[in-house]
Amino acid sequence: MSANKIIKCAKCQNNAETDPRIYRSEYTTSYPIRDKDGKIYCWNCYKNKSSCKGCGKSVANIKFPRSGQPEYPHCNGGVSYGCERISNNVEFICSKKCSKDIVNRKYQAWKDKLSQGWTKCEKCIKNVNKLIEWFNEDSMKGGEWLREEKHQSRFIKLVPPGQGKLCLEKWGCKWGEEVGKPRRKEMQAQAQKYWDTLPYETRIKEVIRSRNARQVGGWGGKFENLTAEQIAVQNEAPRGIVQEFELRGCHQDCSDCHLEKDFKNSSSNNNLSCSSHGNNSYDDNSEEKEHDQQSQENLRQANKNKLGNNYLGLIIGGIVITSFISLAATILLIRKKKKNN
């Protein structure tokens, strides 16, 4: 959805995107909110028709604290997909008691499935064990919290009887192993092929442009302290270039996608430094630049066509990483509360 496109609230018919300046003391979801029936609302109208996920009571008159204030009542904020400026799966919890009730109900349902012959996903178990080891290495008490089955049940998915050893949820472990990984490797191969076709001078420009693209954050590792000129002579495609191909795969089905526009804007400054440390300036030749850009665009279009329509597989990596970051944050918060008590 374009940034200047207005989506009207299904109830009040006003702009469904909330101005955050109006709610200085209350947490809000500024994006329009989509409910389970597909209708879109502004923050006020959605909250007025919503109820607590735990007790089912209306949350219309509840004020939700901003970050840093008391944890409850709580709104999860939902999630937006691709370039769409709409929040999905926004939920409310009115109290800590309701939160505990929700956890207990989910845990009981999880145990019931185990008693019915469901099995734990083997990869989920490995991921949780790795996180416990990480906490132990850093001498954190979060590992003790995560050893409890009740807490593990939040992160270990279950597999129906006779359905293998990996969870079958959308973008789950089975999907990631059988589809996500192969497709990501193919995207990486496309990026490498693109890098191999570039002449030295164009490689320098691509490195500079990619480093200035805010969407790309993978310039660490062995290329972290190299200048653009030094990276340009490497046989291996830089991580930043690879990430761009991966992101294009993720945004394959975005309507009115802003990704390519953002990438082009990142190269609008012709006086960018060739060095990652700000040394030397590179004077672009406009004719050569136009030729290089056209060649790059042709290659990208060809690669995009080869990628196909199913490259949302990369999202699995982001989902897994986000899940474990959330887990780590939750454990650290619990540890902090215990110290305060």
| 109 and 183 fall within a common domain | no
Higher pLDDT, 292 or 188: 188
- Top pLDDT among 319 and 198 is at 198
Write out pLDDT tens, residues 139-164: 666 678 888 899 999 999 999 999 99
6-35 average pLDDT score: 90
25-34, 98-107, 245-254: range with lowest mean pLDDT: 245-254
pLDDT at 338: 53
Using the 8-state DSSP alphabet, how is residue 311 labeled? Answer: G
b/e code 323-338 from CB counts within 10 Å (16+ = b): ebeebbeebeeebeee
Residue 178 in this model has a pLDDT that exceeds 60? yes
Long-range contacts of 79-84 (CB under 8 A, 24+ apart): 80/31, 82/250, 82/251, 82/253, 82/254, 82/257, 83/1, 83/251, 83/254, 83/255, 83/256, 83/257, 83/258, 83/259, 84/1, 84/254, 84/255
At 117 the pLDDT is 95
Q: 214-218 contacts: CB < 8 A, separation 24 or more? A: 214/262, 214/266, 215/243, 215/244, 215/247, 215/259, 215/262, 215/263, 216/240, 216/243, 216/244, 216/247, 217/243, 218/242, 218/243
- Judge if 156 and 192 occupy the same domain: no
Do residue 111 and residue 18 come from a single domain?
A: yes
Higher pLDDT, 43 or 255: 43
Q: Are residues 326 and 305 in the same domain?
A: no
- Looking at residue 24, its pLDDT comes to 82
Q: What integer is the mean pLDDT of 298-303?
A: 45
Contacts of 79 (CB under 8 A, 6+ apart): 87, 88, 89
Q: What is the pLDDT of residue 172?
A: 84
Domain boundary among 73, 94, 116: 116
pLDDT digits (tens, 9 = 90+) for 225-279: 888 899 899 999 988 888 888 777 666 666 666 666 666 665 554 333 333 333 3
Quick one: pLDDT at residue 138? 67
Note whether 159 and 232 are same-domain residues: no
**33-37, 95-99, 133-137, 264-268 — which is least confidently predicted?**
264-268
Instruction: Verify that 135 and 159 share a domain, yes or no.
Output: yes
Residue 94's domain comprises 1-116
Decide if pLDDT at 78 tops 60: yes
Q: Considering the chain, what percentage of its residues have pLDDT values greater than 70? A: 67
CB distance 59 to 50 below 8 Å: yes
- For the ranges 83-97, 209-223, 246-260, the lowest mean pLDDT is seen at 209-223
Asked whether residue 2 carries a pLDDT value surpassing 60, the answer given is: no
CA distances to 9, 106, 294, 301, 302 from 298, rounded to whole Å, are: 41, 51, 6, 5, 6
DSSP string over 314-325:
GHHHHHHHHHHH
Asked if 305 and 218 sit in the same domain, the reply is: yes
Please list, residue by residue across 166-196, b when 16 or more beta carbons sit within 10 angstroms of its beta carbon and e when fewer do: bbeeebbbbbbeeebeebbebbbebbeebbe
Give me the number of domains the chain comprises. 3
pLDDT (tens digit per residue) in 160-176: 999 999 998 877 898 88
- What pLDDT, on the 0 to 100 scale, is given for residue 10? 95
Whether 121 and 111 map to the same domain: the answer is no
Whether 260 and 207 map to the same domain: the answer is yes
Q: What are phi and psi of 95, to 5 degrees?
A: -155, 165
133 and 184 fall within a common domain: no
Q: Is 267 or 49 the better-scoring residue by pLDDT?
A: 49
The model's confidence at residue 288, banded by pLDDT at 50, 70 and 90, is very low
Contact 167, 121 (CB under 8 A): yes
Please indicate, yes or no, whether residues 110 and 222 belong to a single structural domain of this protein.
no
How is residue 176 annotated by DSSP? Answer: I
pLDDT of 339: 54
Closest CA to 18 of 29, 2, 7, 9: 29
The yes-or-no verdict on residue 122 having pLDDT over 80 is yes
| Token representation of residue 287 | 């004719």
Do residue 280 and residue 330 come from a single domain? no
- 273 and 281 Cβ atoms separated by less than 8 Å: yes
70's CB contacts (< 8 A; 6+ apart) are: none
Q: In the prediction, which pLDDT does 235 show?
A: 92
**How far apart are the C-alpha atoms of 27 and 294, rounded to whole Å?**
46
Amino acid at 26: E
Question: For position 262, what pLDDT does the model report?
Answer: 63
In terms of DSSP H, where are the helices of the chain?
43-48, 96-115, 122-137, 142-147, 149-152, 173-175, 181-197, 200-211, 228-232, 239-250, 259-265, 286-307, 315-340
Is 107 or 179 the better-scoring residue by pLDDT? 107
Rank 17-26, 117-126, 280-289, 327-336 by mean pLDDT and report only the highest.
117-126
pLDDT at residue 52 tops 80: yes
pLDDT, residue 298, reads 44
